[in-house]
Chain A
Amino acid sequence: MRSFYGTDLPNPLMLGTAQYPSPAILADAFKRSGAGVATVSLRRESGGARAGQDFWSLIKDLGVVVLPNTAGCHSVKEAVTTAHMAREVFGTPWIKLEVIGEEDTLQPDVFGLVEAARILSDDGFQVFPYTTEDLVVAGKLLDAGCEVLMPWGAPIGSGKGLNNVFGLRAMRAHFPDIPLVIDAGLGLPSHACQAMELGYDAVLLNTAVAKAGDPAAMAEAFARGLEAGLLARSADPMEPRDMAAPSTPVIGKAFLS
């Protein structure tokens, strides 16, 4: 697994912290999955200086790396302000940068994203940009100072998995040295497994776990899916082919009977 701005993670699971039935269940999901990173949104909790303190201290108590995000920000200015607040609250230069461009699909405004990424990188932030699988945008994000890319699998919360496998595979091939994280759209552990099989370094998800009937069990299922994908990747998978390749010899078999 590639490191993220010099930090090695214990496993490829980054878990969001929103929408769980309770903070206790959230903590359980982290415990059972062993997720190494918790993303936390500041935007909605920002109702005043110290208003979110109770929840933030619960997140800190998880004992995992915190990746604050700018979820819900629709402009460069909002995202930059939120990133500064996050750095103050959590004392980390990491920021998952979201600049939302479309309310219905929550897809990133890639123009605003590149601009905000440049401003924040110049200011010493280590930016994890939520982007699409577009290679040109990806290149511009790297130029802006990002050392990690987080393409979407599918729209946030849709649970549709890897929508454009071709595009994601191309991205992996195009940026062989950049840590890549599938961010958003995963619904099932098999999707996470597939991301690992494609050579991705991590996945970030929230709704698929938080809104499962048993979030902690689903978190563990995702951890196992990731483990399977990672193991498969390292085991050098076979190449698909067009014709059947019998796994047992046919010579000498009475195949005309």
Chain B
Amino acid sequence: MIAATIIGGGVAGLCAARALRDRGASVTVIDRGGDIGPHACSWWAGGMLAPFCEGESAEEPVVRLGQEAATWWQDKTGLVTQNGSLVVSAARDQGDLTRFARLTRMSESLNADQIADLEPDLEGRFKAGLFFPSEAHLAPRAALQSLRAGLIESGVEFETRQADPQTEAKAGLTIDCRGYSAKDTVEGLRGVKGEMLVLRCPDVTLHRPVRLLHPRIPLYIVPRGDGVFMLGATMIEASAGQNVSARALLELLSAAYALHPAFAEAEVLEIGVDTRPAFADNLPRIRRTGNLIQANGLFRHGFLLAPALARMIAAQVFDNQTPEVMDEIHA
């Protein structure tokens, strides 16, 4: 029986644990922070399963591999909402909407009435939009908790401690899923700062993630149910400090206000900041040196790509198959 130790209990580690366990491995997950929490970058995620929208700026593998995500998460957690995604822009930024449509696939153009049919609270606010009917979203924290619970149920062990991948690898197969914390040992990894907000705004109801295009401040807003919304997210080429900048707050809130003025009355529940791990092409990588596998660089696509990454890790471990995102292998 194959035994695997996974270091890092964020979205990459938990998905890898699920995929390896499903194929019969005995799995231990080690995380310095114990249970899912703010120390994991995925704790702050938007939870959009929107491969086609991401195609606006992401490379082809993100669009293709991301299409596995909604089914995978629904199968493992049952927490996926499949309502599509809506993209809108202010009248003065119509050109950005045209560009978005040109650079993506699987969208339908909407006029003002069709937008109102989908999201009655946005009635009269936007003249044109795009709808991506096949896309989905989930609540990331609930999904991670459910995934973890399922893993415990199926016999996966969880340990709370600091672990060194090299040391663990001496004892057996080890998968390093530590994200940006692994920066010092993962060649070419950089940090991309993200800032987000959670608001409660019972005056607005949205049924699906909405993206507001803007030349400087693109925003997405994901409904979490019960009048709660996640607003995200800045993308800054820097590793995060502890704090959100005033500018980020100002921009995110202005954009939310532009989407619907009622957001001005919202309660701010949370302000979050963290560092996304990314390689130069913003695509994830799997690397293997003997007993040590590094899986990293999910960038802003943690929930979207972790299932595909986990599948590839399992195929490497069980079938010795070289994953398409593997760039280094040393026996």
Contacts and interface: CB of A to CB of B under 8 A. Distances in A.
Given A21-B59, A22-B281, A58-B280, A213 B241 contact: no
Interface string A6-48: 0000000000000001111101000000000000000011111
A55 interface: yes
B84 interface: no
A55 B102 CA distance: 29
A45 B236 contact: yes
A71 B153 CA distance: 53
A123 interface: no
Q: Specify the main secondary structure of chain A where it touches its partner.
A: loop
B280 A27 contact: yes
A23 B241 contact: no
A24 B281 contact: yes
A52 interface: yes
B190 A47 contact: no
Contacts of B282: 21-24
B271 interface: no
B240 A47 contact: yes
B257 to A, nearest CB: 15
A220 to B, nearest CB: 19
Nearest to A52: B238
Contacts of A25: 281
Contact of B237 (A24, A52, A213): A52
Nearest to A45: B238
B330 interface: no
Contacts of A245: none
A44 B236 contact: yes
Interface string B208-224: 00000001100000000
Contacts of B21: none
Contacts of B103: 213
Given A27-B280, A213-B103, A22 B238 contact: no
The residue in A44, A54, A55, A157 that gathers the most chain B C-beta atoms within 10 A of its C-beta is: A54
B281 A51 contact: no
Contacts of B215: 157, 207
Contacts of A60: none
Nearest to B242: A48
Nearest to A159: B95
B239 interface: yes
A47 B243 CA distance: 9
A21 B59 CA distance: 8
B167 interface: no
B281 A54 contact: no
A69 to B, nearest CB: 14
B320 interface: no
A47 B245 CA distance: 8
A116 to B, nearest CB: 20
B59 A47 contact: no
Interface of A: 21-25, 27, 44-48, 51-55, 58, 157, 207, 211, 213
17 contacts: A21-B59, A21-B282, A22-B57, A22-B278, A22-B282, A22-B283, A23-B281, A27-B280, A44-B247, A45-B236, A46-B238, A51-B241, A52-B237, A54-B191, A54-B238, A211-B99, A213-B103
Given A21-B57, A44-B236, A45-B237, 4 more contacts: A47-B236, A52-B238, A54-B191, A54-B238
